[in-house]
Amino acid sequence: MSFCGFGAFNAILYSSHVLQPSLLSARPFLNKCFEGINRVTFTQGSTKGLELTHMISSEKETVALIDPVYPESGRNKGNVEMWLLELQASMRKSLKIITADSIEKYPHSLRTDFILKFPAQVVLAATQLYWTSDGT
């Protein structure tokens, strides 16, 4: 298993934790795998078992995942790499949709409402897009 910026000791420790019956022990290691994710929200899903539904930054911004990740079902069961890849794909898809939504709503929103509605990096991207387009 190789994660960028993830030392051998942490990889061994991480593997031993996530292979335990409770995947909740994976939480402390997510910020080492994904720079922007400090924690995720685990809920007891339907028949698929435990599901990851939200990602939370170190600044406490919460973003809902468009496609929840089920680390204990199907090909993910016992395969840390698989559900981490699914988490990455869901994170990218979610942020892409949220960013597109913010770009669409920016011209029709009060700035104060807009800033509070979207994650900080999405706000920066959308406002910079409009700021540069106004300069032409």
Q: Taking 60 as the threshold, does the pLDDT of residue 97 lie above it?
A: yes
Contacts of 133 (CB under 8 A, 6+ apart): none
Q: What is the pTM of this model?
A: 0.75
Q: Taking 80 as the threshold, does the pLDDT of residue 130 lie above it?
A: yes
Q: Which domains does the chain have, with CATH numbers?
A: 8-134 (3.20.180.20)
User: pLDDT tens digit string along 26-66?
Assistant: 666 777 778 888 888 888 866 777 888 999 988 899 999 99
| Cβ atoms within 10 Å of 16's Cβ, excluding its own | 10
Q: Taking 80 as the threshold, does the pLDDT of residue 3 lie above it?
A: no
Distance (Å, rounded) from C-alpha 10 to C-alpha 3? Answer: 10
